[in-house]
Amino acid sequence: MTHAATPGATAPADPLSAATGAAESSDATAPRPRTAAYLDLDKTVLATSTTFALGTPMHCSGLISTTALARGVVAQLPYLLLGADEDHTSRLMDQLAALNAGVERSRLQEVVSDAMATAIEPAVYAEALDLVEAHHRAGHDVVIVSASIIEVVEPIATLIGADRAVATRLETDAEGRFTGRVERSLLHGAKVEALEADTAEHGIDLARSWAYSDSISDRPMLEAVGHPVAVNPDRELRRLAEQLDWPVRDFERPVNLRRPLQPTIPRPNLAPVRAIPSAVLPLRWELVVNTGVLTGVAALTATAVAAGRR
Residues 6+ apart with CB under 8 A from 256: 121, 122, 262
The larger pLDDT score, comparing residue 29 to residue 121, is at: 121
Indicate the average pLDDT of the chain. Answer: 74
Say which of 27, 42, 205, 250 is annotated catalytic. 42
Q: What is the CA 52 to chain-centroid distance, rounded?
A: 13
pLDDT reported for residue 60: 74
- 231-279: per-residue pLDDT in tens? 999 999 999 999 999 999 999 988 876 554 344 334 334 343 333 233 3
Band (97; pLDDT cuts 50, 70, 90): confident
The larger pLDDT score, comparing residue 215 to residue 92, is at: 215
Say which of 14, 40, 85, 214 is annotated catalytic. 40
Mean pLDDT (whole number) for 25-32: 53
- 6-22: per-residue pLDDT in tens? 333 334 445 565 444 44
pLDDT reported for residue 200: 96
pTM, entire model: 0.73
Identify whether 214 is a catalytic site residue.
no
Identify whether 27 is a catalytic site residue.
no
Mean pLDDT (whole number) for 20-44: 71
30-39, 74-83, 98-107, range with the lowest pLDDT: 74-83
79-88, 106-115, 210-219, 258-267, range with the lowest pLDDT: 258-267
Question: Do the Cβ atoms of 208 and 195 come closer than 8 Å?
Answer: no
The larger pLDDT score, comparing residue 31 to residue 119, is at: 119
The larger pLDDT score, comparing residue 278 to residue 28, is at: 28
pLDDT reported for residue 68: 55
Q: Is the pLDDT of residue 113 over 70?
A: yes
In the sheet where 210-213 sits, what is the strand order? 178-184, 164-172, 141-149, 36-39, 210-213, 227-231, 248-249
Most confident of 66-70, 133-137, 287-291, 292-296: 133-137
176-185, 188-197, 268-277, range with the lowest pLDDT: 268-277
